[in-house]
Structure 1
Amino acid sequence: MTNDPLLTLALPIALGIIMLGLGMSLTLDDFKRVARYPKPVLIGLGCQILLLPLACFGIALGFELEPALAVGLMLLAASPGGTSANLYSHLAHGDVALNITLTAVNSVIAILTMPIIVNLSLIYFMTADQAIPLQFTKVLQVFVIVLGPVAIGMLLKSKLPNFAQRMEKPVKIMSALFLALIVVLAMVQDWQTLVDYAPVVGAAALLFNLVSMAVGYYVPQLLSLNKRQSIAIGMEIGIHNGTLAIALALSPVLLNNATMAIPAAIYSIIMFFTAALFGLWVNWRHGDELKEEEPEAQAG
């Protein structure tokens, strides 16, 4: 299915536009904040990089997912937080500065961690003739494809801030359109697999989403972070960059497997509803406390 010329053309364009938009939302201060407030950033990254893949592995085994679907779910777990987490965190009175920093840092770290997690998943779930590990040259391609547009976006924001601000909305619209095109093409050409596995994959994706938000919200509190920081981390690791996972799964030069894109496509729909409910719940439970924390809250 990934031999479709339209899909082959749309994938790098979509990913490039999305990463360009991410770059235009970041500054060098977002990375420098790690040195000033290391504890919440390290806790968030620990939840994202260590706890989530372990939880996802257990869910994939528990649901006895077909090998390609299991790898697809693990690919999603390895992907960094999506930029929508910033908006949901803001609406839920989370620490948005922490969200932005986590998105920035994890987008870079994920370039190194994703190939490791995906390769281990391929080795475990797939048979020897099915597994096509991500070789160094392919990892390098991902590095350029992902970080190149991010760097360009950051440069535009630094040198042409007014232009970057004007382009923010058009870039988001273009990103959404290209993502919709990719998902439609992928699902149409792998429709039978989607129909066959949607119920079990949907249940696994929903459970993984709920576990992600629970880990992101409760683990930071156990480690003495405040509610706003915990909300930020919960949103950050609950809202994954499904577009990146879909692009890596479908890309002809990378995994080239439509079935692996199905968990990320389903998750990308589920997460926006659960994130909204999560935001409503924490504000209903802790609204007054969040208002007291807000004036003095920092990224650390």
Structure 2
Amino acid sequence: MLVRRGSAAFAARADGPVRLFSVTVLVVVSLAALLGGRENLADYLRQVGLVTGIFCLASLGIGYGGAKALRLNEPQAIAGAMEVGIHHTTVALTIALSVLDNAEVAVPSAVYSVLMYVLATAFGHAVTRSRSSSTATTDRTVS
């Protein structure tokens, strides 16, 4: 926000590279955590896959539903869903791996971060698709 306030043009130019960098860091940290325990990956998915998937979907739904309940517009509701659904897994992984030096503690965050990409993408696609189809239906009934 400070950069954008100081130089909106620079902030606009830096937006894409900063987003790419942040996603890359999250992927690298998640993969490192998963690869560190790759011999147990199937067990990890079996142990925490379902609960982390449910948590991710619930977070996305609560973020979206809460925004709609507050009468925010559709783009704001989608942004709210993504903000709530895409948790700070990099922070959790970093703390588990470096501060606590415990790969086992990092497992739920690592599994969540992998599932999060798939589920958040599917959720975003479903919400935007239902929005575009409802807009098309409204356009047809108005015409």
* TM-score, normalised with respect to structure 2: 0.70
2:44 is matched with which residue: 197, 205, 208?
197
Check if 1:225 corresponds to 2:61. Answer: no
1:205 aligned partner, one-letter code:
T
Partner of 1:265: 110
Counterpart AA for 1:170:
P
* Structure 1 stretches lacking a partner, 5+ long: 1-26, 28-153, 292-300
Correspondence 1:248 to 2:113: no
Q: Tell me how far apart the structure 1 counterparts of residues 7 and 46 of structure 2 sit (CA, whole Å).
A: 47
Query: How much has 1:197 moved relative to structure 2?
Result: 1.9
Contact 2:93 2:106 in 1 (8 A): yes
Check conservation: 1:250, 1:256, Cα contact below 8 A.
yes
Q: Distance in 2 between matches of 1:226 and 1:233?
A: 9
Q: In structure 1, give the amino acid aligned to 2:121.
A: A
Matched pairs, number: 135
Q: Offset at 1:226? A: 4.1
Match of 2:32 in 1: 185
1:194/1:262 contact within 8 Å kept: no
- Amino acid corresponding to residue 100 of structure 2 in structure 1: L
Q: Does the residue aligned with 1:271 lie in a helix, a strand or coil? A: helix
Aligned partners of 1:183 and 1:259: how far apart in 2? 13
Instruction: Tell me, yes or no, if structure 1 residue 238 matches structure 2 residue 67.
Output: no
Native 8 Å contact 2:26 2:89 kept in 1: no
Report Cα offsets for 1:254-290 as digits up to 9, x if no partner.
332212222222222222332232233333434429x
Q: Residue 224 of structure 1: CA displacement?
A: 4.7
Q: Per the alignment, in what secondary structure is the counterpart of residue 102 of structure 2?
A: coil
- Aligned mate of 1:275, from 96, 117, 120: 120
Give the Å deviation of 1:209: 0.9
Look up the SS of the partner of 2:71 in the other structure.
coil
Specify every segment of 5 or more residues in structure 2 that has no aligned partner in the other structure, as ranges. 139-143
- Give the letter for the 2:57 counterpart: L
Q: C-alpha separation between the residues in 2 aligned to 1:280 and 1:182?
A: 25
Q: 1:178 to 1:160 in 2, by over 3 A?
A: same
- Which residue identity is paired with 1:206? G
* Closer/same/farther in 2, CA of residues 285 and 258 from structure 1, 3 Å limit: same
Contact 2:33 2:110 in 1 (8 A): no
Aligned partners of 1:213, 1:275: CA distance in 2, in Å?
7
* Post-superposition CA distance 1:66-105 (Å, at most 9, x none): xxxxxxxxxxxxxxxxxxxxxxxxxxxxxxxxxxxxxxxx
> Which has the bigger relative contact order, CA under 8 A and spacing at least 6?
1
Contact 2:65 2:77 in 1 (8 A): yes
Conserved 8 A contact 1:217-1:234: yes
The structure richer in helix per residue is 2
Equivalent residues of 2:64, 2:77 under 8 A apart = yes
Which amino acid is the alignment partner of residue 214 of structure 1?
G
Contact 2:64–2:81 (CA under 8 A) maintained in structure 1: yes
* Between 274-283 and 209-218, the greater mean CA deviation after superposition: 274-283
Q: Secondary structure at the match of 1:240?
A: coil
Cα drift, residue 237 of structure 1: 0.8
Distance 1:285 1:189, change over 3 A: closer
Indicate the SS of the match to 1:273: helix
TM-score if structure 1 supplies the norm length?
0.38
Q: Which amino acid aligns with 1:259?
A: E
